[in-house]
């Protein structure tokens, strides 16, 4: 195995372990995030997509020689890898038609070994490409942009408006980071109020809503909402900016809360160079599969009040939200959020190495630390 292949194998083992541990954390009813219930479940679904993307990329190395990651920044694959994965998905059927079936390839490989007493590298690459394309075609991966879904519908008894929990995701091409978005938005459209709200101000039980629903539940706004989310999901935009833009662009929609989950950066010994102190200590971890650290940030902005709209003969103003930015916290103000949480997930062995080096307190200052040990996550250390 070449040094490049060894490095790739270490990287894929580390990121797979990290994502698996993070999914365990999100689905564990003892985890601090589980109090949010549906939020943790939604994030876990996107983590599963990421995990499938990495499984596909790992298979792709069986017939492609290069795989680039953002070593100095996010620790994730560069955006080009996601575009190639999507392109391969679209071309999968066409390319599979030109590759022999797996059974035929195995027979050819066995025959080649018997006749030539050599390993059939070309046939092995064809087999790897077939398995990769079959996976890409069938699996739900994390794409450059994932269209919105409505995950929950209810009614605000104070405003008598239906509200939706809508989520979507993107992989930011500049920061090379996976981003998950969730917004709670009230809908004052007359047609939706009439359809969803009963005379008691509750969700009309006679309306069958097969959740999750692809797109925004309001069909008249669904396409515009998809366009909006695709244009307003960049990492450079603060959550407050996205919420204000949403409030401004859709008269009947009233965003009450917007969350963004930034899944990264990721640190891996001998691979990433995004933090010299972390890299130096992780390099001392005895088992390479435990020499990693995954961080994530949960950002939230919420509406503290609603300014009523007005309609006049010559001008009118729509109802607008006043979003709370915590200016008492300089970092919250910088991020453009009401609140934020920094989290870190690290294997027990790696945490011990950081602790022994006297670096744990400095590195994890401001973070909620979660330790992965024997398939379980221990928090509040």
Task: State pLDDT tens for residues 193-228.
Answer: 999 999 898 999 999 999 999 999 999 999 999 999
Which of 66-70, 274-278, 302-306 holds the top average pLDDT? 302-306
pLDDT value of residue 289: 82
**What CA–CA distance (Å, rounded) separates 145 from 169?**
6
Instruction: Provide mean pLDDT across the span 270-277.
Output: 83
15-67 residue pLDDT tens: 999 999 998 888 776 665 656 678 889 999 999 999 999 999 998 988 887 78
pLDDT value of residue 66: 77
97-155 residue pLDDT tens: 999 998 998 998 998 888 888 888 888 899 989 999 999 998 799 999 999 999 999 99
Q: Place 284 in a pLDDT band, splitting at 50, 70 and 90.
A: confident
pTM of the model: 0.93
Least confident of 10-24, 144-158, 248-262: 10-24
Q: Place 156 in a pLDDT band, splitting at 50, 70 and 90.
A: very high
pLDDT value of residue 226: 98
Angle between helices 38-60 and 121-138 (to 10 degrees): 160
């Amino acid at each position: 195995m070449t040094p490049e292949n060894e490095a790739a194998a270490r990287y894929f083992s580390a990121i797979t372990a990290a994502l698996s541990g993070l999914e365990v954390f999100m689905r564990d009813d003892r985890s601090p995030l589980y109090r949010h219930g549906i939020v943790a479940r939604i994030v876990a679904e996107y983590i599963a997509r990421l995990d499938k993307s990495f499984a596909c990329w790992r298979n792709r190395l069986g017939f492609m020689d290069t795989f680039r990651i953002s070593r100095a920044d996010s620790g994730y694959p560069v955006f080009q890898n996601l575009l190639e994965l999507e392109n391969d998905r679209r071309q999968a059927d066409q390319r599979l038609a030109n590759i022999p079936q797996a059974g035929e390839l195995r027979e050819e490989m066995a025959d080649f070994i018997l006749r030539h007493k050599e390993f059939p590298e070309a046939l092995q690459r064809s087999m790897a490409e077939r398995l990769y394309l079959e996976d890409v075609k069938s699996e739900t991966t994390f794409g450059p942009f994932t269209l919105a879904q409505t995950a929950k519908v209810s009614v605000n008894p104070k405003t008598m408006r239906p509200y939706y929990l809508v989520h979507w995701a993107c992989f930011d091409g500049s920061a090379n980071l996976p981003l998950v978005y969730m917004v709670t938005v009230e809908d004052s459209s007359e047609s939706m109020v009439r359809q969803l709200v009963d005379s008691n101000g509750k969700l009309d039980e006679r309306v069958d809503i097969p959740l999750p629903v692809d797109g925004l539940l309001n069909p008249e706004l669904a396409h515009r909402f998809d366009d909006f989310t695709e244009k307003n999901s960049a990492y450079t935009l603060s959550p407050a900016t996205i919420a204000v833009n949403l409030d401004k662009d859709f008269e009947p929609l009233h965003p009450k809360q917007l969350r963004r989950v930034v899944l990264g950066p990721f640190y891996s010994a001998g691979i990433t160079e995004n933090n010299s102190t972390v890299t130096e200590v992780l390099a001392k971890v005895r088992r390479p599969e435990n020499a990693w650290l995954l961080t994530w940030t949960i950002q939230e902005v919420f509406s503290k009040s609603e300014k009523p709209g007005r309609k006049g003969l010559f001008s009118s103003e729509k109802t607008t939200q006043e979003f709370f930015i915590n200016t008492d916290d300089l970092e919250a103000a910088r991020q453009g959020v009401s609140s934020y949480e920094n989290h870190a997930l690290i294997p027990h062995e790696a945490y011990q190495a950081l602790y022994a080096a006297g670096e744990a307190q400095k590195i994890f200052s401001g973070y909620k630390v979660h330790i992965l040990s024997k398939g379980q996550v221990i928090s509040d250390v």
